[in-house]
Chains A and B, each alone.
Chain A
Amino acid sequence: MSLRGVGASQGVGHGPVFVLTAEVPEPPEGATYTGDADQEKARARAALDEVAGVLEGRGRQAGGAAEDVLNAQAMMARDPGLLVGVEALIDHGTAAERAVYEAFGRYRSMLVGTGGYMGERAADLDDVRDRTVALLTGHPMHGVPLDAPEPFVLVARDLAPADTALLSKEVVTAFVTERGGPTSHTAILARAMGVPAVVACAGATSLAPGTLVLVDGSTGEVRVGPTDAEVAGATGAEAARQEKLAAVRGPGRTADGHSVPLLANVGGPGDLDAALAHGAEGVGLFRTEFLFLGRKAAPTQDEQVAAYRPVLEAFPGATVVVRTLDAGADKPLAFLPAREREPNPALGERGLRMSRRFPEVLADQLAALERAVAGTAARLHVMAPMVATAEEAAWFTEACRTAGLAAAGVMIEIPAAAIRARDLAEHVDFFSIGTNDLAQYLFAADREMAELSALHDAWQPALLDLVAAAAGAGRPCGVCGEAAADPALACVLVGLGATALSMSASALPAVRAALAGHTTEQCRLAAAAARSAKDAATARQAARAHLPGLADLAL
C-alpha cells in the first residue's frame, strides 16, 4: 500500500513513523472567567509573553533560516493589534484562553483568504495560538523527541517551525505532512537539512505509530510496509545519486579538462560561509547595495573598506568581482536623488548612469575598494552595472585606473552592449552577463510582472544569441544571472563561450557535477542545438539531447 503526496525535498528516507499529535482542544465558546478583568488581561499578556520568549529562545538555539521564522512567530505573540482584540474580548467577559483563540481566529481567516504562500503561514499562527492556549489551560504540548534509539519518519498534519527547528538529520530520516505546499516551512526546512519530505499527503496521520514507511521526496510516494528489497533498491539508487554529485569536487571543469571557474553571488558578508562550504572558487558578483540602502548619507570610505575586506580576505588567490553601486529610481537612495519622478524606473537613470551624475560617490567606492584589497591576496575585479555604450565603458575604466584598480569590466545587461560587445571590449578587461536584466530589456518585459515570466525564460533563443555575441567578443566573459544556476543551461553557457559561472552557493554542486559530466564539444553541440530552436521549451529539449550525463545525475 502507498500514500501519495507532493515531493517537497529530494531524497529517500525510511523508518518507523512518529505521529505528532499536538492538537490543543479549542476552548469552549462562551467561556467566562471569575474575578477581575485586569487580572484576566494580565494572565493573557503573561502567556503571550512567555510563548514569545520560548520561540525566541528556540530561534537563537537553531540559528539560520529557522531563527527568522521563529522570531516572526514571536512578533505575532507580541502583536499590539492582537492584544487590543484579546483585551476587548476579556472586557466583554470572555475567558483569556477563549479570547486568545478568537482574536487569532480573525487574522487566521484573513490569511487563509489570501491563499498560497500566505495561507501556509496560517500554520505559524495556529502554532502560536495553540501554545498560548495550552499555557493558559494547563494542557500539555506534545513535542517531537530530539533523541531516539532509531531514526524515525516524522508525520504530522502540519509542522510548526518550533517543532522542527532543533531536529537533526540523525533523528529524522524524512518528513511527511498532510497539509502544506512546496513553500511551507516543512519543505524549506527539509531542503535546508537535506532530509526528504513529502507534503500534502492525505491520510498520513492515520498511520499507526511505529509503522515502517519508505518516503521518496522526489516522486511524493510514501510506501507503507515496504519489503527489504524495496528499501534497499530505493536507498541504493539515492546513495548512488548523492555519491555522484559529491564525488565531483575541486575547481569547475568540463570532462575534457577545460577550466570554468565556479563562483558565488554574494550580497554581503553573511553569504560567505555558504560560498566557502559549497566550494566557490571566488566571487563572481559581489553586490554592494547592502552597504548603501536605507541611509541618509553615503557610507564613509573607512566604513566601506571594513565591509569589503572580509569578502576579499575569504578568497586568497581567487577572483572577487565587485559590482559598483547599482541604484536608481527602482532602488532610491537619499544621497542619490532622482531628478524627477521617473515613469519607467527600470529604463531610467540607474547604475552607471547615476554614477556619472554623482562621480564623487563612485570615486569614493573605488578608492575604498583599492584600500580594501591592499594587503589581501584576492584578485579584485570591479565592474559597472547598466552600461550601454563603448563610451560609457571607457569612462568607467578610466575611473578605475585613476583609482589604481587593475581589472575593470562591465555588466552586459543591455542588448546594445551585447550586440556591440566588440566595441566595448576595446575598453574593458572583462564582461559579466546579467541574464535577468538582459532578458527584461531584450524582450521589453518588466521583470516584476509575473504575467510576463515566459519572456524571462533564460532558454529563449534570442537571449542565447546575445550571450554568444558577448562571449565571442574577445574578452573573458562570465555569467552571473539565474541562468548559471541551471545545470543544463550552465553547460550551454559554457558552449556559448562563457569563461566563468557565478550563482547562489547552493547551486554550485549540481552545476559542478553537470559540467564534469560533459565535454566542451558536447556543451558546444548543446548550445548550437538550443540556438537553432525557435522557442525556449524546444531549446531546452534540444540542448538536453546533447547532455546525456544530466539524466545519470538525476538533474
Chain B
Amino acid sequence: MAERKVTIVAEVGLHARPAATFVQAATKAPIDVTVAKPGGTPVNAKSILQVMALDVRKGEMIVIAAEGENTEELLDQLAAIASAP
C-alpha cells in the first residue's frame, strides 16, 4: 500500500472544482484509490459524494492511498491536484 500525505491549500478546500478534478483523475485509474483524513476512515476517491462528505477544508491534511501497479505515478498526480492552490 503506497500513500501520500497532502495539505489542502485551495480556498474552497477539497470541494467544488478541486474535488471534481481530483475524483475525475482517480476515476481514470484501473486500481482502487482511497482518501482519508489522518486516522479517519478511508473513502473511495472515485466517489464525488464520499469525497465531498469527507469535508476537507483549507489547511487540513489528507492521506491518499492506493495498491497495485503504477501507484507511484497515480499518487503523485493526485497529490499534485489536491495540493494545487
Binding site for B on A (CB under 8 A): 68, 71-72, 75-76, 79-82, 107, 110-111, 114, 117-118, 121, 125, 293-296, 330-332, 334, 448-450
Contacts and interface: CB of A to CB of B under 8 A. Distances in A.
22 contacts: A68-B16, A68-B20, A72-B16, A72-B19, A72-B20, A79-B50, A80-B44, A81-B44, A82-B49, A107-B50, A107-B53, A114-B53, A117-B15, A121-B16, A121-B52, A294-B76, A294-B77, A294-B81, A294-B84, A448-B59, A449-B59, A450-B59
Contacts of A82: 47, 49
B20 A294 contact: no
A109 to B, nearest CB: 9
A111 B51 CA distance: 11
Contacts of B69: none
A451 B8 CA distance: 16
Contacts of A117: 12, 15
B17 interface: yes
Nearest to B60: A448
Contacts of B63: none
Dominant SS among interface residues on chain A: helix
Contacts of A80: 44, 46-47
A81 B50 contact: yes
A449 to B, nearest CB: 6
B58 A448 contact: yes
A448 B48 contact: no
Given A331-B83, A334-B76, A449-B59, A75 B23 contact: yes
B67 interface: no
Contacts of B20: 68, 71-72, 75
A510 to B, nearest CB: 21
Dominant SS among interface residues on chain B: helix
For chain B, the bracket of interface size reads 20 to 34
A75 B12 contact: no
B85 interface: yes
Contacts of A332: 79, 83
B24 A296 contact: no
Interface in B5-53: 7, 9, 12, 15-17, 19-20, 23-24, 43-44, 46-50, 52-53
A82 B79 CA distance: 25
A107 B16 CA distance: 16
A62 B80 CA distance: 29
Nearest to A125: B49
Nearest to B59: A448
A114 B55 contact: yes
Nearest to A118: B55
Given A75-B23, A294-B81, A334-B76, A107 B49 contact: yes
